[in-house]
Structure 1
Amino acid sequence: MLSVWALDGIGEVTPGTDLVATIADAAGGTLADGDILVVTSKIVSKAEGRIIEAADREDAITAETVRVVASRPTSTGHVTRIVQNRLGMVSAAAGVDASNTPEGTVLLLPEDPDASARALAEGLRERTGAAIGVIVSDTLGRAWREGQTDAAIGAAGVLVFEDLRGRTDAEGRPLVVTMPCVADEIASAADLVKGKAARRPVAVVRGRADLVGSLDLPGARSIVRPLERDMFRLGADEAYAEGFAAGRSSS
């Protein structure tokens, strides 16, 4: 049976906060082997000092951007940019976030979410004696679907994929491409109990101990699809403009 619950008692996180001690104290000795902790990236960014003045948000988005996928003006007069950031993820505004931050500031994503997850997992294993895994989550949109969901941007001590290729389905047919991204599924499940405004940024997922393992397991960076296999590397308008320009230059 899968159980998911959020930890209470985690106060405001500021630069330099010891997240290992904070989370361990909030868990109060309840963590067990095989538990997976899902930690909202915002508190990781705050603890790591990834805070900038809000006036610098557009410059920060540009600095964090490796490749622009699409940009569109909004009804409020702003421009929404969908970009690939330096972590390889494609998201709005390169993950630069203005929600749940101190007034007048915005947050950058952690410098290396996998390394952040590994430090938390290692520290919590040492402090609690429980073999746990850690997922660092962030809220992302999805192509072709409205709304957002939480996904894994960092992971340590937990399998990010459940590779079912080579097995058979319930009817005995071979599974050829089935490889659920269980890290994203767990991150989404955890968000159901954490909420966006409840000040409960850490959740515990229990019941999938089979996914917990060595701290050397591949992190969430392995989830990012390589550009050469990206079938949708540009927005529709951008792809049309690129094709139109190429056609004119070759004529």
Structure 2
Amino acid sequence: MQVFSVAGLPDFQPGMDLSQAIIEALAAQNTELMAGDILVIAHKVVSKTEGAVIDIEQVTPSDEAIQLAAEVNKDPRKVEVILRQSSRIIRSMKRPEQEEGTIIAEHKLGFICANAAVDESNADHVGQLITLPDDPDASAMNVCNALEKHFGCQLGVVVSDTFGRPWRLGQTNVAVGLARVPAITKLDGSDAWGRELKVTAPAFADELAAASGLLMSKDGKCPVIIFRGLAWQASESKAQDILRSKREDLFR
């Protein structure tokens, strides 16, 4: 397997053609995509090109946002955007030693994460908030289709974001949008010692997203990572296929 970044990508703005920018950057590297390549793309560049950015100065906080903001010491305008992106707030708290508290929310797409994935990092200017794309799976498929048409081969695309993990410190990239890439791969049969495999189902898309983080640094401007040489079968998976159903949630 080879893993490499696409160098020389521009600073993306609303309305820019992400697929064309990838094609031009690869050409500058004298590189072409090959059948079976999978691209992991940071959602920030997808969100920016699609205009999923909000100027905090244009936001008027609701009474709910003002109250929650006071509890966690956040800008009520940012909290208002978090609420708009959420289907529910799961937990919020602020410890005495924290400057800002934590809001854990269920995003309206079903992902459970801090601040409903509303983020200020890699924004173009202070006061700009970046949200998830409205439909990350559709975004991934649009890029995938454009690249497949140009390079004449089957590809896969994962749109990633950075989430924390329950019961573990630190963050890792996870899949929030998929095109052709299987969300889960189920391992049937037996392990290397002949034991029957009953519940082994690697989260293939999340594994790709996590691995991309090794090259996708916050300050490196490397939002597109290519995986080459993996064995995988194209699927119609959606990112929501990774989410555990509510009836299986032991902590609700």
TM-score under structure 2 normalisation?
A: 0.87
Q: Distance in 1 between matches of 2:219 and 2:56?
A: 20
Instruction: Measure the CA separation in 2 of the matches of 1:160 and 1:98.
Output: 28
Name the residue aligned to 1:218.
Answer: 237
Q: Distance in 1 between matches of 2:241 and 2:24?
A: 31
- Letter paired with 1:227: K
CA-to-aligned-CA distance 1:171-213 (integer Å, 9 cap, x gap): 11110000000111111111111211100100000121x3242
Find the counterpart in structure 2 of residue 49 from structure 1: 51
Q: Sequence identity of aligned pairs in percent?
A: 39
Kept in 2, the 8 Å contact 1:132–1:212? The answer is no
Per-residue deviation, 1:153: 0.4
Residue of structure 2 equivalent to 1:243: none
Structure 2 CA distance for aligned equivalents of residues 134 and 192 of structure 1: 17
1:30 aligns with 2:49: no
Identify the residue that residue 19 of structure 2 maps to in structure 1.
Answer: 20
> Partner amino acid for 1:225?
R
Q: Find out whether 1:58 has 2:79 as its counterpart.
A: yes
Q: 1:115, CA displacement in angstroms?
A: 0.7
**Inter-partner Cα distance in structure 2 for 1:232 and 1:211:** 33
TM-superposition CA deviations, 1:4-52 (whole Å, max 9, x none):
1111010100001101101111122421000000000000000000111
User: 1:245 corresponds to which residue?
Assistant: none
Partner Cα distance (1:132, 1:27) in 2: 15
Output the amino acid matched with 2:197: L
- Rounded to whole Å, the distance in 1 between the matches of 2:54 and 2:240 is 24
The CA distance in 2 between the partners of 1:116 and 1:167, in whole Å, is 35
| 1:28-107 paired onto structure 2 within 5 Å | 28=27, 29-55=31-57, 56-74=77-95, 75-103=97-125, 104-107=127-130
Q: Spell out, residue by residue over 1:123-182, the C-alpha distance to the aligned partner (whole angstroms, 9 max, x if none).
A: 110011121100000000000000000010001111121111x31001111100000001
Q: Is the 8 A contact 1:150 1:188 kept in 2?
A: yes
| Structure 1 Cα separation of the partners of residues 211 and 20 of structure 2 | 24
State how far apart, in whole Å, the 2-side matches of 1:189 and 1:129 are: 26
Partner residue of 2:184?
A: 161
Which residue number in structure 2 is paired with residue 195 of structure 1?
Answer: 217
| Residue 232 (structure 1) shift | 2.1
Between 1:155-164 and 1:22-31, the stretch displaced more is: 22-31
**Structure 2 stretches lacking a partner, 5+ long:** 58-76
- Give the alignment's TM-score, normalised by structure 1: 0.87
More displaced 10-residue stretch of structure 1: 68-77 or 117-126: 68-77
What secondary structure is seen at the aligned counterpart in 2 of 1:125?
A: helix
Out of 141, 144, 151, the position equivalent to 1:121 is: 144
Q: Which moves more between the two structures, 107-116 or 73-82?
A: 73-82
> Which residue identity does 2:19 align to in structure 1?
V
Match of 1:249 in 2: none
Correspondence 1:9 to 2:31: no
Give SS of 1:69's match.
Answer: strand
- 1:198, 1:102 → 2: CA distance? 15
Q: Which residue of 2 aligns with 1:232?
A: 251
CA RMSD of the aligned region, Å?
Answer: 1.3
> Counterpart amino acid of 1:223?
I
Quickly say closer, same or farther: Cα 1:128–1:115, change in 2 above 3 A: same
Q: 1:230 and 1:68 mapped to 2: Cα distance?
A: 16
Counterparts of 1:143 and 1:45 in 2: how far apart (Å)? 26
Worse-superposed segment, 3-12 or 24-33: 24-33
The residue type equivalent to 2:116 in the other structure is: A
CA contact (8 A) 1:139 1:148 kept: yes
